[in-house]
């Protein structure tokens, strides 16, 4: 009797030995089949699965039980394993495979080196540089290097020994955790903000809040809000607040006044940072409640240490004068990157004591080198010329809007007064190359010609006025030599301050006069109308040209008779 349709439906084929049997027997058959035919299982399985397109993948040799996709633990793909190999597990063979995988992943046009059976694919030098470029970009992580390198401890804070040396007041206060309200005054990038953060970290351990405001964006309401919170913190948690105000000079008088009572009563400890002379930019009342700490431009040594720390963190090696960069055609997956020691020193000099400029300059140079065509050919070495290219020198040396503007013009004025032509030309250059307005300099020369040379050489004034006009006509850069000529003339000229000091005495006399100023004597007054004549204006005046002999006549008010200004 032919099997019924129903019974034939219940017949299944063993996936191991291909024997057909009733479905009810398959499990017990499989157990015995697998026990007796372990070695043939794989080949069978393969044949079956490929032949029949079965979903059953079967087990690998040596497996103790059949495995079905649902229960099969996915085996990690080989390249994933190798991306994070355990060092202790790494056999030589494994390491060779690691190379291969890594290299295949990164190198498309790579060289293939055959060493016996070991076929290894290595990236070319330019591919290595690309890899490094990517790694470097990851290191920068979209953040300026200067920010990434901001030190968190005094240990990494370089320079500024005058205020932070062992026996200094600030160091002692920091140790004693007794930070008073301070104004940190110093040029850009010398470490004011960084120092404020270090102070904050230092005091954070002691139940202190640290709040930051930037005077460029904060409003008076923001200040009030911070103060309100500070009051609550003291009341509720006995927690002190340190308020750091960056660029405090940008706050107007009312905003600065808002701090006053709260600094006074200790609700907040204020740390202000400013690049401007606080005597002019910070309220006297506020100033008298804060200590002013003067930070200086960072020395070249401090800058070198800061740059070295950054270079180390980027994994760039410093090449001494006699050292040669190792050729990166080896199989290293990360070819070294180098910077010449000389390039670092140059950068430390050029950034003019501004660590932010120095670190940005380093970052720019590294990024430019990575993108440069010759880097692809010759490898990654940062040289002095790359650093110079990366830096806009003029923007470093001179701050047109800030105090440097006044410092330099004062240095020029004093050098001309001292008849030092070389120094005068130097300060002139510092200003002009830094982008100073030539008319600002020319106006000062006009003033100098009168104030310091005056009647000793009246032509100096003519020279200076002419220089001013010439600068006005032709502008920079052509007018630079006109200013240089005038500066040299004024520096060489004989000096006299007779006019200047005489006029100062006049001002003094007027300022010190008590009571109403004396009227102009009648004989000196003009009398254009009849009424004025009738009132005695011009009466008795002696018109000098009418006299051949010296005229005896008073020109000062009677109260000042005999006063000498000259």
For residue 431, the minimal CB distance to ligand ATP (Å) is 21
150 is a site residue for ligand ATP (CB under 6 A): yes
H/E stretch holding 319: strand 316-319
Q: Which is nearer to ligand ATP, 359 or 416 (CB)?
A: 359
Closest to ligand ATP by CB, 153 vs 548, is 153
- Which stretch of DSSP H or E encloses residue 12? strand 11-13
Is 192 an interacting residue with respect to ligand ATP (CB under 6 A)?
yes
Cβ proximity to ligand ATP, 52 vs 301, nearer residue = 301
147: helix, strand or coil: helix
Contact between 157 and ligand ATP per CB under 6 A: yes
Dihedral sign for Cα atoms in the order 40, 41, 46, 49: positive
Q: Which among 41-49, 126-134, 143-151, 222-230 is the span making contact with ligand ATP, rule CB under 6 A?
A: 143-151
Q: Does 147 bind ligand ATP (CB under 6 A)?
A: yes
Least spacing, CB of residue 303 vs ligand ATP, in Å: 9
Asked if residues 41 and 59 have their Cβ atoms less than 8 Å apart, the reply is yes
For the CB of residue 304, give the shortest distance to ligand ATP in the complex, in Å.
11
**Minimum separation from the CB atom of position 191 to ligand ATP (A):** 3
Residue 402 CB, shortest distance to ligand ATP, in Å, is: 10
159 touches ligand ATP (CB under 6 A): yes
Given a contact cutoff of 8 angstroms between Cβ atoms, the answer to whether 131 and 334 are in contact is yes
Residue span binding ligand ATP (CB under 6 A) among the ranges 14-22, 152-160, 344-352, 468-476? 152-160
Contact 14, 34 (CB under 8 A): no
Which of 361, 353, 371, 352 minimizes the C-alpha distance to 311? 361
Q: Counting contacts by CB under 6 A, is residue 208 touching ligand ATP?
A: no
Distance, C-alpha 212 to centroid of its chain: 18
Task: Say whether residue 297 binds ligand ATP (CB under 6 A).
Answer: no
Nearer to ligand ATP, 193 or 365 (CB): 193
Q: Is 190 in the site for ligand ATP (CB under 6 A)?
A: yes
Shortest distance in whole angstroms from residue 355 CB to ligand ATP? 3
DSSP 492: H
Distance of closest approach, residue 306 Cβ to ligand ATP, in angstroms: 5
Residue 481: helix, strand or coil by DSSP?
Answer: helix
Cα dist from 211 to 193, 201, 229, 389, 542, whole Å: 13, 12, 10, 39, 76
Q: Measured between alpha carbons, how far is residue 483 from residues 177, 208, 529 in Å?
A: 54, 56, 50
User: Is residue 121 at the binding interface for ligand ATP, with CB under 6 A as the rule?
Assistant: no
Which range, of 237-245, 342-350, 355-363, 413-421, touches ligand ATP by CB under 6 A? 355-363
Contact between 342 and 385 (Cβ < 8 Å): no
Residue nearest to ligand ATP according to CB distances in the complex: 191
CB neighbours of 85 closer than 8 A, spacing ≥ 6?
94, 95, 98
| Omega prior to 17 cis, within 30 of 0 | no
Question: Per CB under 6 A, does 314 bind ligand ATP?
Answer: no
- Say if strands 316-319 and 381-382 run parallel, antiparallel, or are unpaired: unpaired
Residue 97 or 218 with smaller CB distance to ligand ATP: 218
> Per rule CB under 6 A, is residue 271 in the interface with ligand ATP?
no
292: nearest Cα among 250, 253, 262, 248 = 248
306 near ligand ATP (CB under 6 A) = yes
The reply on whether position 128 binds ligand ATP by CB under 6 A is no
Burial code of 295-306, b = ≥16 C-beta within 10 A, e = fewer?
bbbbebebbbbb
Q: Which 8-state DSSP code applies to residue 550?
A: P
| Interface positions, 167-186, toward ligand ATP (CB under 6 A) | 186
Q: Which of 252, 250, 243 is nearest to 276 (CA)?
A: 250
Q: Does 151 bind ligand ATP (CB under 6 A)?
A: yes
Which residue of 44, 45, 240, 356 would you call a contact of ligand ATP, by CB under 6 A? Answer: 356
Q: Which stretch binds ligand ATP (CB under 6 A): 149-157, 199-207, 231-239, 283-291?
A: 149-157
DSSP state of 275: S
Is residue 303 close enough to count as binding ligand ATP by CB under 6 A?
A: no
Count of residues near ligand ATP by CB under 6 A = 24
| CB-based contact 432:478 (threshold 8 Å) | no
**Of all helices (H) and strands (E), which one includes residue 21?**
strand 20-22
Residues near ligand ATP (CB under 6 A): 146-147, 149-151, 157-160, 186, 188-194, 273, 275, 298, 306, 355-356, 359
């Amino acid at each position: 009797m032919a099997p019924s349709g129903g019974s034939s439906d219940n017949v299944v084929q063993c996936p191991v030995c291909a024997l057909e049997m009733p479905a009810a027997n398959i499990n017990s058959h499989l157990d015995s089949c697998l026990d007796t035919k372990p070695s043939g299982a794989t080949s069978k399985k393969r044949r079956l699965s490929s032949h029949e397109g079965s979903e059953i993948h079967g087990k690998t040799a040596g497996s103790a039980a059949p495995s079905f996709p649902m229960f099969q633990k996915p085996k990690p793909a080989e390249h994933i394993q190798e991306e994070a190999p355990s060092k202790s597990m790494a056999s030589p063979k494994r390491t060779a495979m690691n190379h291969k995988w890594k290299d295949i992943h990164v190198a498309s046009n790579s060289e293939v080196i055959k060493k016996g059976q070991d076929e290894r694919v290595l990236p070319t030098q330019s591919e290595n540089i690309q890899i490094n470029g990517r790694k470097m970009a990851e290191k920068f992580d979209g953040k300026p290097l200067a920010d990434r390198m901001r030190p968190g401890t005094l240990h990494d804070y370089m320079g500024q020994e005058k205020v932070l040396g062992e026996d200094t007041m600030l160091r002692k206060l920091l140790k004693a955790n007794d930070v008073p309200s301070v104004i940190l005054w110093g040029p850009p990038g010398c470490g004011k903000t960084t120092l404020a953060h270090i102070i904050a970290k230092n005091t954070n351990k002691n139940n202190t809040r640290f709040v930051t405001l930037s005077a460029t964006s904060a409003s008076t309401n923001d200040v009030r809000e911070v103060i309100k919170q500070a009051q609550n913190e003291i009341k509720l948690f006995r927690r002190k607040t340190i308020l750091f105000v960056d660029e405090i000079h940008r706050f107007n008088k009312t905003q600065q006044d808002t701090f006053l009572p709260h600094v006074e009563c200790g609700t907040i400890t204020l740390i202000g940072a400013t690049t401007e002379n606080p005597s002019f930019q910070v309220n006297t009342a506020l100033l008298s409640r804060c200590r002013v700490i003067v930070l200086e431009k960072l020395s070249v040594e401090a800058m070198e240490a800061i740059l070295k720390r950054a270079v180390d963190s980027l994994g760039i090696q410093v090449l001494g004068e006699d050292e040669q960069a190792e050729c990166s055609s080896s199989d290293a997956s990360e070819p070294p990157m180098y910077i010449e020691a000389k390039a670092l020193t140059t950068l430390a000099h050029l950034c003019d004591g501004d660590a932010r400029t120095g670190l940005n300059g380093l970052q720019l140079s590294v990024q430019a080198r990575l993108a440069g065509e010759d880097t692809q050919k010759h490898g990654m070495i940062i040289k002095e010329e790359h650093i110079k290219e990366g830096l806009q020198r003029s923007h470093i040396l001179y701050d047109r809007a800030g105090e440097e503007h006044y410092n330099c013009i004062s240095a020029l004025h004093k050098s001309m007064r001292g008849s030092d032509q070389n120094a005068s030309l130097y300060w002139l250059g510092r200003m002009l190359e830094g982008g100073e307005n030539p008319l600002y300099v020319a106006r000062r020369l006009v003033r100098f010609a009168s104030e310091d040379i005056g009647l000793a050489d009246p032509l100096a004034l003519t020279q200076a006025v002419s220089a001013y006009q010439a600068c006005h006509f032709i502008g920079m850069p052509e007018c630079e030599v006109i200013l240089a000529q005038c500066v040299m003339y004024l520096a060489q000229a004989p000096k006299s301050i007779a006019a200047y000091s005489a006029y100062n005495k006049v001002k003094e006399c007027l300022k010190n006069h008590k009571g109403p100023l004396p009227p102009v004597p009648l004989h000196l007054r003009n009398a254009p109308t009849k009424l004025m004549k009738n009132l005695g204006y011009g009466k008795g005046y002696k018109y000098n040209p009418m006299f051949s002999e010296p005229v005896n006549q008073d020109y000062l008010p009677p109260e000042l008779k005999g006063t000498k200004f000259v």
